[in-house]
Structures are given as C-alpha cells and as structure tokens.
C-alpha cells in the first residue's frame, strides 16, 4: 500500500471487462449488507459517460438510500477515465482518485469499491484500475460473463490480480442461464483453472430496483463476501 493505514472492512467488485454486471453485483451486495444492519456504501472512484451513466446513482436507487453510494468524480465522454479527461480537457490525478476512494471506503463500516471497466482500464497518470485495488490493499470479487470466451478472460484476470497481491474471494458469472454447453461447463472448469469459488447469477428483473438485492441475496451464498468481511463482524444471515 502507499500509506500505512489498512481498510480491513472494505473490498472491491471488479470485472473482466465493461458491461459485465459489476454495478448490479455491487448494488446487490451493498443492499444485502445494509438489510442486515450495516452502513455499507458503494464507492465508484470515477464515472465516465455521465450522463446517462451513473453507477453510484443506480446503487443508491437499488438500496433506496442516497447515502448507499457515492462517486467523487464524473466525466462526460464514455471512455476510459484517463482518456475521457484528456478529451474533455479536464485534470484527473491518480493520487486524488486513490486518496478519495480510501477516505470514502473508510467512512463506512463496510465499503465496496466498484471498478471502472476492466482491470487494466487507465485511470490517470499511467495507473490503472488494478493499481487502485492493489494500493488500497483490499480483496476483490471478480464479475465475468457466463458464456463462451469467459475462461480465458476470467483466468487471466485472476492471475493479474494475484500477481499484484490481491486476494480473489470469489468469481461471479453474471447473467447465467445455462442454455449453452459452454455456460453449463464454465463454472466447474473455472474452479479447476483458478482454484476460486465460482458462483452464478441469473438475469435479474430490474423493473423494481430493490429486486436486485433480493436476486443477489437469493442466488449468491454468503461466502461470496471476502472472509475478512465476515470475520470482521458482518452477520450475513438473519439468524
């Protein structure tokens, strides 16, 4: 880490790519924790493509509470943050992104950092999303697609995270329907390839935002959360 303090009760939700479902998983996990009495908060360190894209607003809407998510910096162009800032002629500094994320995560007893696109998306000053997770010293839940092609992308992402000292607590294969042979075999193959727990999340009905929380809670087990979140005192059942 770049600073001495640690974030014992925070973790990241990162993705193999953009549009794999990080925001849905983040919203569901934050909402699940808040239903159990935590003041969990989702933190999107920087949002590009704004508007209409506003992932923090979606998480807050799902949780029914504006305090459930925050984003300190938004950029207009729908590009990687470093590129979006350059195109928009705006200043974006990595140290500011890192320090704001650390502060916001620490303000809640459970902070959930949502990644921006894939792991190697440029943030600023030559640093990437994976650098931010590593510098914050937090474990990660990796969200990936369910179908053909996910073995390569997911295994490479797990390797990249581990090479930076980042613990991968679980893989979530999003939008899982099991309609193809690739989908049905991918979970077991990924367990063998990565030695990570692999969970599947079916398409969720988002006509009612709170249904995202219900769907995530009903289809993902409590051990999707990093072990140190649970050992730190989070009760993940209603018992």
Rounded mean pLDDT, 150-178: 98
Is 225 a known ligand-binding residue? Answer: no
| Residue 202 annotated as part of some ligand binding site | yes
Structure tokens at 164: 């930076």
Three-state SS at 61: helix
Percent of the chain, pLDDT > 70?
93
What is the per-residue pLDDT for 4? 43
pLDDT over threshold 80, residue 196:
yes
- The label of the residue with tokens 């993705």 reads 15
- DSSP conformation letters of 78-104: SS-HHHHHHHTT----HHHHHHHHHHH
Q: What are the boundaries of each domain within the chain?
A: 10-225
Stretch among 60-64, 151-155, 169-173, 204-208 having the lowest mean pLDDT: 204-208
* Predicted local confidence at residue 235, as pLDDT: 57
**23: annotated binding-site residue?**
yes
230 vs 91, more confident? 91
Predicted pLDDT of residue 109: 87
pTM of the model: 0.94
pLDDT for the residue 233? 52
Q: Is 203 annotated as a binding residue?
A: yes
* The pLDDT of residue 207: 87
Residue 115 marked in a binding site? yes
Catalytic residues: 44
- Can you tell me whether residue 139 is helix, strand or coil? coil
Determine if residue 24 is labeled as part of a ligand binding site. yes
Structure tokens at 74: 């938004």
Band of residue 3 on the pLDDT scale cut at 50, 70, 90: very low
pLDDT of res. 239: 47
Q: Nearest-CA neighbor of 121 among 79, 151, 76, 85?
A: 79
Under a CB-based contact definition with an 8 Å cutoff, are residues 43 and 112 in contact? yes
> Across residues 106-115, what is the average pLDDT?
95
* CATH number of 10-225, picked from 3.40.50.150, 3.30.365.10, 3.40.50.300, 3.30.200.20: 3.40.50.300
pLDDT surpasses 90 at 70: yes
């Amino acid at each position: 880490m770049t600073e001495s303090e640690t974030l014992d009760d925070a973790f990241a939700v990162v993705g193999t790519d953009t549009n794999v479902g990080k925001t849905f998983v983040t919203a569901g996990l934050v909402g699940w924790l808040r239903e159990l009495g935590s003041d969990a908060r989702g933190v999107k360190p920087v949002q590009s493509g704004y508007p209409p894209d506003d992932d923090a607003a979606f998480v807050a809407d799902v949780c029914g509470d504006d305090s459930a998510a925050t984003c300190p910096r938004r950029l207009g162009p729908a590009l990687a943050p470093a590129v979006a800032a350059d195109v928009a002629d705006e200043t974006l500094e990595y140290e500011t992104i890192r320090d704001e994320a650390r502060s916001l995560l620490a303000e809640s007893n459970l902070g959930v950092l949502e990644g921006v696109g894939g792991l190697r998306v440029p943030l600023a000053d030559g640093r990437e999303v994976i650098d931010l997770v590593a510098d914050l010293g937090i474990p990660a839940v990796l969200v990936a697609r369910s179908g053909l092609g996910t073995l390569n992308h997911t295994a490479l992402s797990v390797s990249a995270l581990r090479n930076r000292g980042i613990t991968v607590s679980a893989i979530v294969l999003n939008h899982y329907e099991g309609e193809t042979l690739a989908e049905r075999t991918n979970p077991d193959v990924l367990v063998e390839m990565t030695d990570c727990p692999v969970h599947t999340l079916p398409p969720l009905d988002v006509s009612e935002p709170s249904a995202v929380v219900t769907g995530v809670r009903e289809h993902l087990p409590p051990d999707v959360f990093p072990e140190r979140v649970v050992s730190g005192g989070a009760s993940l059942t209603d018992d």
